[in-house]
Amino acid sequence: MLTKEQIEYLFAFCRQHFVQYYEVQVELVDHLANAVEIEMENDSKLTFEKAIEKVHRSFGVMGFAPLVAEKQKSAEKQSGMLFWKLFKAQFKWPKVVTFFLLVALFFTLFSADVFMAKLVLLGTILFSWISHLISLRKLQKLVSGTGKKFLILNVSWFSSLILFPTYFVGYSKFFEETGLLNHTPYNILAISICLSLYIIIIITTFQALSSIKQTLINNYPEVFSLAE
C-alpha cells in the first residue's frame, strides 16, 4: 500500500508529464499506484521511483499523450450526450408548453411592429448571452478555487454557445435583405420559432452547466470542499 506522500508524488509526476486535467490525473494515478505496487512486490529491490519509471516506459514513446487525447474525446462525447439529452427533454410534456408559449409570445410581439421584432430579437440575444457568460463564470470561479483544471470544462461546445449569438447579429442584414422580418405571417412565425429554439438552447445550457457542476462536486469532494 502506497503512502499519502507517494500518492502525491504520483500526482506531481503526472503534471510533470503534461497531464494537467484533474479527472485524468485521478484515473491515471490509480492505475500507476496499482502498477507500481505490483512491480515492487515482484522485485523487492526495486525502489518506488524506479518502479514509476518502469511503469511509465510501458506507456511507450508517446507517454501519457494518447491517454489524454482519448479522455478528451470521451469528455466531448459525454458532454454532448448530456446536452442533447437535456435539450430533447425540453420537448416532452409538460416542458414543451414553454416552447409553444415562447413562440406565441414572440409571434404576438413581432406581429405588432417590425421595429419591436428587431428590438426583442437583439434584446433577447444580449440577455441570453450575458446570462450564459455569468453562469459559466460562476462555475469557472468555483473550479479556480480548487486550483485544478478539469477536462469537462474544456469541451468545444461551451465556446460555440458563447459565440452563437454573434451569428444572429451577423445575419441581421441578411434577414432584412431576404425579407425575413417583413410583416408576413410565415416570416414572423419562422423567426419566432428560431428565437424560441435559441431560448430553449440557453435553458438547456444552464441545466447542463448545473449538472456538470454537481457531478464535479460529487466525484471530487476532496478538492471542492475546500473551494466552497
* Per-residue buried b or exposed e for 91-118, using 16+ beta carbons within 10 Å of the residue's own CB: eeeeeeeebeebbeebbebbeeeeeebb
> Is 84 found in the same domain as 59?
no
Q: Per mean pLDDT, which of 53-67, 126-140, 157-171 is the most reliable? A: 53-67
In a domain, 69, yes or no: no
Of residues 172 and 86, the one with the higher pLDDT is 86
Looking at the fold, whether 21 and 59 belong to one and the same domain comes out as yes
Is residue 187 domain-resident? yes
pLDDT at 36 over 90: yes
pLDDT band at 93 (very low <50, low <70, confident <90, very high): very high
pLDDT at 208: 86
Predicted confidence (pLDDT) at residue 7 exceeds the cutoff of 90: yes
Q: Is residue 68 part of a domain?
A: no
Question: Does residue 168 lie in a domain region?
Answer: yes
What angle, rounded to 10 degrees, do the helices at 114-144 and 185-219 form?
10
33, 63, 93 — which closes off a domain? 63
| Domain tally, the chain | 2
Regarding whether 54 and 87 lie in a shared domain, the answer is no
**Same domain assignment for residues 126 and 46:** no
Q: Are residues 26 and 135 in the same domain?
A: no
- What integer best gives the mean pLDDT of the chain? 83
Do 215 and 116 lie in a common domain? yes
Q: Residues 88, 113: one domain?
A: yes
Assigned domain for 70 exists = no
pTM equals 0.80
**104 and 184 share one domain:** yes
How many C-beta atoms surround the C-beta of residue 124 within 10 A? 19
Q: What is the reported pLDDT for 52? A: 94
- pLDDT tens string 147-204: 899 988 876 555 555 555 555 555 455 555 555 555 677 777 887 888 888 888 888 8
Rounded mean pLDDT, 134-143: 82
| 168, 97: one domain | yes
Q: Same structural domain for residues 148 and 173?
A: yes
Domain range enclosing 197 = 75-227
10 shares a domain with 82: no
Residue 210 placed within a domain = yes
Residue 9 lies in a domain: yes
Calculated CA dihedral for residues 15, 18, 22, 24, nearest 10 degrees: -120
Domain boundary among 15, 37, 63: 63
Report the percentage of the chain scoring pLDDT > 70: 84
